[in-house]
Amino acid sequence: MKNRTETRRTERSQTVALAAFMLLQSVAAVFFVADAARDLFEQPPGAHSIIEALIAGTLVAGIFLAGWQLRLTLERMRIQERALDTARGDFVRIIETQFDAWALTPAEREVGLLALKGLDIAEIARLRGAAQGTVRAQMARIYAKAGVSGRAQFAAWFVEELLGDGIGRPDDPD
């Protein structure tokens, strides 16, 4: 899975590519509009020159509509990113509050957070410089304090709390 920096870099690259493509379309539109205008002024308007002018106008309209849609899409992406940041903040708040309520030790908190991030026992042990048995014992204590039977229920507890809380409820004092 890509991290946030790579995702943003990819999104920026795509936006730049779209902008460059629209610039190229704009250059083509200027050429076609100029050609259609020249045809209309140099000779009496005929079916060919009128159709050419309509096509050039349609190309220009398409560029403006694409630009407008690109702007709306970028704005939607910014709004969604803010909502995701809010959800992340709510999720972190829920985790910290619940870890406090369960009275997890600092070591248990770290192990619990790594477990929620999806790391397995071996990865957690390696990161913490601990034995896998120690991590298993810490996970067992976490599950006992949380009143769950395993990792799936442990993770599901937080997802349910986040979804059940209704992120960003207006009546939420926090």
The CATH number of residue 130's host domain is 1.10.10.10
Question: 68 and 106 in one domain?
Answer: no
Report the pLDDT averaged over residues 5-15. 81
Answer yes or no: is pLDDT of 146 > 70: yes
* Banded pLDDT at 133 (limits 50, 70, 90): very high
Closest to 49 measured CA to CA, from 57, 59, 40: 40
Question: 50 and 109 in one domain?
Answer: no
Whether 72 maps to a domain, the answer reads: yes
Question: 83 and 123 in one domain?
Answer: no
Per-residue pLDDT reduced to its tens digit, 48-76: 888 888 888 898 898 899 889 888 988 88
Answer yes or no: is pLDDT of 2 > 70: no
Whether 95 maps to a domain, the answer reads: no
Residue that finishes a domain, picked among 17, 52, 87: 87
Count up the domains in the chain and report the number. 2
Those residues whose C-beta lies under 8 Å from the C-beta of residue 143, and which sit 6 or more positions away, are 149, 150, 151, 153, 154
Answer yes or no: is pLDDT of 135 > 60: yes
Residue that finishes a domain, picked among 87, 119, 138: 87
Answer yes or no: is pLDDT of 120 > 80: yes
pTM of the model as a whole = 0.50
Domain that residue 144 falls in: 102-167
2 three-class SS: coil
Per-residue pLDDT reduced to its tens digit, 91-114: 888 888 899 999 999 999 999 999
Question: 68 and 6 in one domain?
Answer: yes
Question: 43 and 7 in one domain?
Answer: yes
34 vs 88, residue with greater confidence:
34
